[in-house]
Amino acid sequence: MGKIVRRRMMSSELDLHHFERSTVHDQISLIVSQLHEKDELRKAFRLEGSVQFENHSNTLSQDADIEEGMQSMSEPGPRRRRSPRLLEQERQSGSQRASAIPASAVVSAQQTKSARPRADQFCVYNISSDSQRAGSRIPAFVIEYKAPHKLTLGHIYEGLEEMDLAEVVRSKDTDGPKEHCRRLVAAAITQAFSYMVRAGLEFGCVCNGEASIFLRIPEDPRTVLFFLSVPKGDMWATPLGGRRMATRTIGCISLQLGKMLAFTLQSLKKPPRSHSWRDRAFEQLKIWKVIYHDLLKAIPADEAPSSEYRPPRQEAFFRASPIRLRPRRHVLSAQSCSSYDRLGRRETDEDGSDPETPSRPPRSAPSRATRPFEGSGSSTERLTSGSSTGQQYCTQECLRSLVDGRPLDKSCPNVNEHGREHHQIDGLMFCALIRQQLAQDLDSNFEPIGRHRSRGVPFMVRLASHGYTLVAKCSPIDFVPHMMHEAIVYDRLRPIQGIHVPVYLGSIHLVRPYYYDAIAYLTHAMFLSFGGMPIHKQISTANCAQVTDQAVVCIRAIHNLQVLHRDLKPRNVVRDPVTGRVMILDFERAEERVPRPVLGTIAPNRKMRRDESGLIKARDKSADLFSRERRSITAELSTLAV
């Protein structure tokens, strides 16, 4: 492996990611999977199954749709000419769609546009291996990649130290290479820091392939702690240091792998912080608007510091782990995601003990001459404050009767909370109450379920005051027009709601956007009854014919209402494991077809087919599309049977 790695050149963050994936990430995923098999280790580190290193710069965005469409595009030609009338119609159509989005949602989009991860930002997830919880994923920590020519070892050695960012960001004409390096390193750290705060994560890392800067945000987010690891330099302090180059290369990789594994295990033990913590953090933190490349260009090439290895400043220095052994912690005092505030006297560990040993709980944030972080709460608040885990979904008939104003469904598992004989509220009141509840608390009775889809994220939501438990399909601002279109389609399908498609209760715009899994802010929610589990988990050779027939019945019912699904794949077919009922989901791409008359008047077009009465039978294109859609899903479902 050493010879292969040495031949690779790294000229971008993408090259760096490929290098890290082959040498570190894949190995860590494999090791964690093995550790998960041991009960004691699984409980100690809260292992769900494995870990994945993922980038989501295009996830849940219009760019993903563009990329999907590009795959089916032919070679581009000259732009099609459009008449002024058609161009005006397109412009008016676009303005109508934009006007349908409330102004508050547009403001939210402008505020959260920069929150999407960049191409050089990765998040590490704790992935469940339980088939019943497939798709469950918990963010653990983030990684900010910087190509080694954009953030050199020389920059890090020269600029990484305890600093007050309020002073660092102020540039002066007399600034020299030292100040420029400090500003460059601070910018790299604060980019990762900002991502960590948005995601509510305690741990993060800045990596350039030669060194890793491990980061930790205490409960008070105005301070970020760092630890520098340089495997190449550490090699010379070990018995492997004098061996030949290939062996030293493998040794460097082994050291980096070991440290990143220890850091990963430490991070997996800490759940994401609550949305309340994030909101309080943003209230106190300011924004440093900076262009990284401008800072890099400010350092003349002839004044760039050397990247030769420099021994650590600490006297006692042999680090088996970036978390376990740390004689003294360096501090970046943070008043914002990039603007830092001096917090007073320096910290020392007088007792010489190891404050970050994984075998015991970490100590509280260091005592400093400053007021405590206002309203700080436990990082486990999200897991203990009324989680809806264990709640049962309301039945189809229960939610249908809520919408129609009919008596309660006595078979609903939550009927005792709904009322005695009749519902105490209606569908409109439900939307108003749930909007008010989510405006106050996004951490209770509101949990992601399964993996996100192309344009939305499913949540299990419970109206605490009345016990209604159902599904919320949430989406970012980019897809609000699609969700509004889907709501219109559900209205068209109202006669078969609760039978062949879920019951639709209404939609709201969230007062407080939900930052989902360090990927995107969700601003819109539509509420649906629980349709069931994905069909691919429940179909087999024994029930394939029965399930397929049920799916075709659903599709015929949808087609009878002149709705063409346009995305009828097995992923959009679900089945309730209790009742065995099959339903069809996700109508954001659906098309409402206008029925055309089967018989037309006599026309001179001889190509049109005449029947015996002399009338010309027009070809029904909608019928062909409906039939093709039924045949397609029937064939795809048959391939799932095992």
**What is the Cβ-side half-sphere exposure of residue 522, based on CA atoms within 13 angstroms?**
32
Q: Which region, left, alpha or beta, applies to residue 419 given φ > 0 means left and ψ of -120 to 50 means alpha?
A: left
pLDDT per residue over 495-536, tens digit each?
A: 999 999 999 999 999 999 998 877 889 999 999 999 999 998
Q: Which region, left, alpha or beta, applies to residue 506 given φ > 0 means left and ψ of -120 to 50 means alpha?
A: left
Helices (H) and strands (E) counted in the chain, each on its own, are 21, 20
d(CA 641, CA 634): 12
d(CA 257, CA 75): 44
* Signed CA dihedral, 161, 165, 171, 174: sign only: negative
pLDDT higher for 210 or 490?
A: 490
Paired tokens of 495: 């006669």
Which residue(s) pair with 203 in the sheet? 141, 216
Query: CB atoms < 10 A from the CB of 427, how many?
Result: 18
User: CA of 160: how far to CAs of 81, 214, 477, in Å?
Assistant: 57, 12, 38
d(CA 461, CA 381): 18
Give the mean pLDDT of 636-642.
84
- pLDDT on residue 234: 64
Q: What is the DSSP letter of 497?
A: B
Q: What is the DSSP letter of 304?
A: P
Taking the domains of the chain in order of start, what are their residue ranges? 2-58+116-315+331-342, 387-530, 534-638
3-state secondary structure of 286: strand
- pLDDT on residue 519: 81
Give the mean pLDDT of 388-410.
91
Residue carrying structure tokens 């009767």: 401
**What is the Cβ-side half-sphere exposure of residue 307, based on CA atoms within 13 angstroms?**
13
User: Which amino acid is it at 448?
Assistant: P
Based on its alpha-carbon atoms, the radius of gyration of the chain, rounded to whole angstroms, reads 29
pLDDT per residue over 412-428, tens digit each?
A: 999 999 999 999 999 99
**Confidence at 439, pLDDT banded by 50, 70, 90:** very high
C-alpha closest to that of 547 among 449, 470, 639, 450: 639
Helix ranges (DSSP H) in 333-459: 381-384, 396-404, 415-418, 427-440
**Confidence at 452, pLDDT banded by 50, 70, 90:** confident
d(CA 446, CA 438): 8
pTM to 2 decimal places: 0.73
Give me the DSSP letters along 241-253.
GGS-HHHHHHHHH
d(CA 180, CA 305): 11
Homologous superfamily assigned to 387-530 = Phosphorylase Kinase; domain 1 (3.30.200.20)
3-state secondary structure of 125: strand
Under a CB-based contact definition with an 8 Å cutoff, are residues 16 and 209 in contact? yes
User: CA of 428: how far to CAs of 253, 423, 442, 507, in Å?
Assistant: 59, 12, 21, 10
In this predicted structure, which of 23-32, 235-244, 574-583 has the lowest mean pLDDT?
Answer: 235-244
- CATH class for the domain made up of 534-638: mainly alpha
- Asked if pLDDT for residue 629 goes beyond 80, the answer is yes
